Amino acid sequence: MRKIGIILITVMLIASLFTGCAASGNPAPAASTEAAAKWPDKKPFQIIVPFKTGGDTDFHARTYAKYLEPILGTSVVVVNVDGANGSAGSIQVRDSKADGYTALFFHDSMLMNKVVEVSDFAHEAFDVAATGIMDNSYILAVNAKSPYKTLEDLINAAKATPGKLNYASSIGGYTYYVGRQLEELTGTDFNIVDAGGGTDRNAALLAGKIDTNVNPYGIMKPYIDSGDFRVLAVFSENRSDLFPEVPTAKEQGYNLIAHRAYFLSFPKGTDPKIIDKVSAAMEQVSKMPEYATDIAKAYSVEPAYMNTADTKAYLDGAMKEFEAAKDMILK
Amino acid sequence: MESLIIGAQAILNPLCMLMILFGVTLGIIFGAIPGLSATMALALFLPITYSMSPVAGVVLLVSLYIGGISGGLISAILTRIPGTPSSVATCFDGYPLTLKGQGPKALGVGIVYSFIGTIMSTVVLIFMAPLLAKVAINFGAYEYFAVAVFSLTMMAGLSGKSLVKGLISGFLGCIFATVGMDSIGSVQRYTFGSTQMMSGFNILPVLIGMFAISEILITAEESRHAAKMETIKVDIKGIKGFGFSWKEFFEQKWNALISGVIGIGIGILPGIGGGVANVLTYGVIKNRSKYPEKFGTGVIDGIVASETSNNAAIGGALVPLLSLGIPGDTVTAMLLGGLTIQGISPGPLMFTEHVDIVYAIFLTMIIGAVAMLFIEFYGLRVFAALLKIPKYYLLPGIFLFCVIGSFGVSNRMFDVWTVLLFGAMGYVFNKLEIPGSPFILGFIIGPLMEINLRRGLMFSQGNFMPFLTAPIAAVFLVAALVSIALAARKNIRNMRKTA
């Protein structure tokens, strides 16, 4: 008798689990224009970060929140909802009420998640507000003890020993895509391996377990400063003002550009007036010198704001690019 | 010495001292309440440190960390519900002592050895961090795989009476850990099309469910049969000092030393953490003991093993964090985030460029450990008095915290369902007399083994040989074989004895 009871409880719990998952909020009708005009009306504005506390996305969201508060005149609360490479938080915001009090702070991985089929939606499921920061600091570094002094040295070495040089990335992640692009562009064949996240890869490069590593400058900075790593190229249009000694890949004859836009988006159906208000406030923040100091100190990036229309165009373009490269990414 | 003075200048001021007191006290409270953990305390306070000075911020976070890991012993010993994942093994011998009326003694032992574990690991951190970091970076995929295999062999030591049941538990742990997206190719496993399931089961709700919710369910069931709920009697009056003698203290010296070394070692290797350290060390100490059969009935050796190792893992985890910038677990990942935001990037230059921060951390660990010792010593009587609260008030309260704590992990309802599911599972395990600790080992180590096997094969392009020929990996694999052989021999002997 008791056993039956246990089974019953277990079954009930499992059942409740699924109903819990299936529950989804219906998007509320657009807030009345009157409410939109008053927004934020001293009510707390919640920004969902789809990753844990302490990462780059969390940092950028919180830095924005800090400077947005006095401009918007309300408290800006950052909430971390992590899981499924950012999809869990995205779903939560997508299914929230479109009253302008909940927004999502995410980046290009939202699109990549759709391409690698981790999620079935991307930015089209939201009302995009603006890009707060564009990270143009993707660099390629090698161990300073290695013989490679320029990007060309590395490419030539890769050509001489196809499939031997280890390139680290997470499969299906953005740096994996960059690596595949590098292979296609130069006609080389690297051995693309998974060596963990940003900091794990630093250790792997230091120990010589991998031959090259692509990541934003800020993640590798301690090792670049200590002279353990040598930077061969930055994958941006122009050299960075924060590390001007590093040549771009383009200068060296390889037209490879990598970037990541951290953008804010609202649930579909949010009043455009609210979106305009937030976007304008974000633009104001991006021009503040103390904001620039904060982000340069922590992640070696420069402020780069994009308004609603530009962000949409950027995301549409990025999506097309990823979709076209789908076979390459899912290889 | 000069660096020490710089560090001392940075933190020897009233604000930092208050911060340590506040952090350790709050950490202990978070640790002591099942459901709330050290991780959660840090997550809550991390954003607040953004606006503090770098030293004050890091002092607060490290204090919370120390208090949080130690505080778990209180509820583990008094109610058999571990306050944090790091105190699971503390229950095994702590609670039986409480039942014998020796609760304050068990608490005293736990507190003193938490202190010793922290101090041991701090000493290692201060004098050997850069050296150990150099060793740690040589651990790649092959080596981690071998370490994982070796760790899994410890299941035998944790299995209790029946090896088969222990293995069932351990392998169920491995299986449940596979739910969600796989860590390399993002392939979905057992998600049944649910997006919530994609991130898998978080370790914290799984542990809280297995050890806290199940315990509440069992007590609730027992209360139906018992005519009157007994409150455990705790005699505080006759207790002097920490409740145990110098003789007992000296008897534990080797246990403490070994537990400390294992704790530090596990702390240094990223991805394992205090949650495994205490369980694994308990297994090791039990195996080498002259009286393994007494473990689980209330010997202080078990508490020494668990509490020394989990606090030793703190100093261990700070080794790769400070000298390489690699966080070993969720707590150190948050510390890294806290430092990064202040513009301080831990790494090779940390010990030269940010001497003040590094030594502020060292001193905080020492002062924090002393503060912990005093706060818990004077709190001992208060904690013991908590048991006077009737269980029908205490346990529903704990249940509530477990649910809130699970929700707080990533602000999702899914984790609440997880805690309830694993609570039910822990209850069933208890009924079938299946031990829970191998499950945890499997749940944490299983994925570590998988990911490193697959990473290793990517490095070697499908060749298995490097797993055997890499020297460090080979040592651990041989150790794993020896461990299995010893366990098998013991088991066969026991069978002959009983036959």
CATH superfamily of A138-234: Periplasmic binding protein-like II (3.40.190.10)
pLDDT in tens, B452-481: 999 999 999 889 999 999 999 999 999 999
Q: Positive or negative, the Cα torsion across A88, A94, A97, A100?
A: positive
Task: Please report the pLDDT score of residue B1 as a whole number.
Answer: 67
Q: Which CATH architecture has domain A43-136+259-329?
A: 3-Layer(aba) Sandwich (3.40)
* Cβ within 8 Å, pair A202-B326: yes
- B22: number of CA atoms within 13 Å, CB side? 12
* Cβ within 8 Å, pair B410-A52: yes
* Cβ within 8 Å, pair A222-B412: no
Longest dimension (CA), chain A: 77
Residues in B closer than 8 angstroms to A166, CB to CB, are 459
CA distance B127 to chain A (A): 21
Task: Please report the pLDDT score of residue B236 as a whole number.
Answer: 59
Chains A–B, number of C-beta pairs less than 8 Å apart: 170
* Cβ within 8 Å, pair B195-A119: yes
* Cβ within 8 Å, pair B196-A21: yes
* Cis before A40 (ω within 30): yes
Task: Please report the pLDDT score of residue B382 as a whole number.
Answer: 82
CA distance A181 to chain B (A): 19
Phi first, then psi: give them for residue A228, nearest 5 degrees. Answer: -80, -30
Low-confidence ranges of chain B (pLDDT < 70): 1, 226-240, 498-499
Phi first, then psi: give them for residue A222, nearest 5 degrees. Answer: -55, -35
* Cβ within 8 Å, pair B325-A222: yes
> CB neighbours of A256 closer than 8 A, spacing ≥ 6?
A178, A181, A182, A185, A235, A249, A250
Residues in A closer than 8 angstroms to B427, CB to CB, are 6
B21: nearest Cα among B77, B75, B66: B66
Phi first, then psi: give them for residue A140, nearest 5 degrees. Answer: -110, 125
Task: Please report the pLDDT score of residue A31 as a whole number.
Answer: 46
10 Å CB burial of residue B433 (0-12, 13-18, 19+) is: exposed
Task: Please report the pLDDT score of residue B231 as a whole number.
Answer: 59
10 Å CB burial of residue B267 (0-12, 13-18, 19+) is: buried
A264: nearest Cα among A70, A73, A61, A79: A61
CA distance A25 to chain B (A): 14
Using CA coordinates, name the residue in chain B closest to A65. Answer: B47
* Cβ within 8 Å, pair B417-A78: no
Residues in B closer than 8 angstroms to A20, CB to CB, are 196, 413-414, 416-417
Per DSSP bridges, beta strands A102-106 and A126-135 are unpaired
Task: Please report the pLDDT score of residue B250 as a whole number.
Answer: 87
pLDDT average, residue stretch A218-246: 92
Q: Which amino acid is residue A150, in one-letter code?
A: T
Cα–Cα distance list, B219 to B114, B124, B216, B425, B430 (Å): 29, 42, 5, 15, 12
Measure CB to CB from residue A13 to each of B196, B421, B461 and give the nearest one. B421
CA distance B320 to chain A (A): 10
* Cβ within 8 Å, pair A85-B197: no
* Cβ within 8 Å, pair A226-B184: no
Measure CB to CB from residue B337 to each of A13, A55, A225 and give the nearest one. A55
Contact B59, B364 (CB under 8 A): yes
pLDDT in tens, A27-83: 444 446 777 888 888 889 999 999 887 778 988 999 999 999 999 999 999 988 887
Measure CB to CB from residue B341 to each of A16, A91, A298 and give the nearest one. A298
A102 in helix, strand or coil? strand
> Is residue A169 predicted with pLDDT exceeding 90?
no
* Cβ within 8 Å, pair B198-A83: yes
pLDDT in tens, A70-124: 999 999 999 888 877 888 899 999 999 999 999 999 999 899 888 888 888 999 9
CA gap A229, B110 in Å, rounded: 45
CA distance A13 to chain B (A): 6
Task: Please report the pLDDT score of residue A19 as a whole number.
Answer: 42
Q: A interface mutation test: which of B326, B428, B450 has the most A CBs within 10 A? A: B326
Task: Please report the pLDDT score of residue B403 as a whole number.
Answer: 92
Measure CB to CB from residue B46 to each of A18, A53, A163 and give the nearest one. A53
Domain boundaries in chain A?
Answer: 43-136+259-329, 138-234
Measure CB to CB from residue A226 to each of B199, B347, B425 and give the nearest one. B347
pLDDT in tens, B409-443: 888 899 999 999 999 999 999 999 999 889 988 99
pLDDT in tens, B304-315: 999 999 999 999
Residues in B closer than 8 angstroms to A291, CB to CB, are none
The ipTM is 0.83
Task: Please report the pLDDT score of residue A30 as a whole number.
Answer: 47
pLDDT average, residue stretch A236-252: 92
Q: A interface mutation test: which of B345, B460, B463 has the most A CBs within 10 A? A: B345
Task: Please report the pLDDT score of residue B497 as a whole number.
Answer: 72
Placement of tokens 């640790």 in the chain: B31
* Cβ within 8 Å, pair A81-B427: no
Task: Please report the pLDDT score of residue B390 as a whole number.
Answer: 83
pLDDT in tens, B374-407: 999 888 878 877 777 888 888 899 999 999 989 9
Question: Could you tell me the two tokens for A137?
Answer: 């600091």
Measure CB to CB from residue A81 to each of B346, B350, B412 and give the nearest one. B412
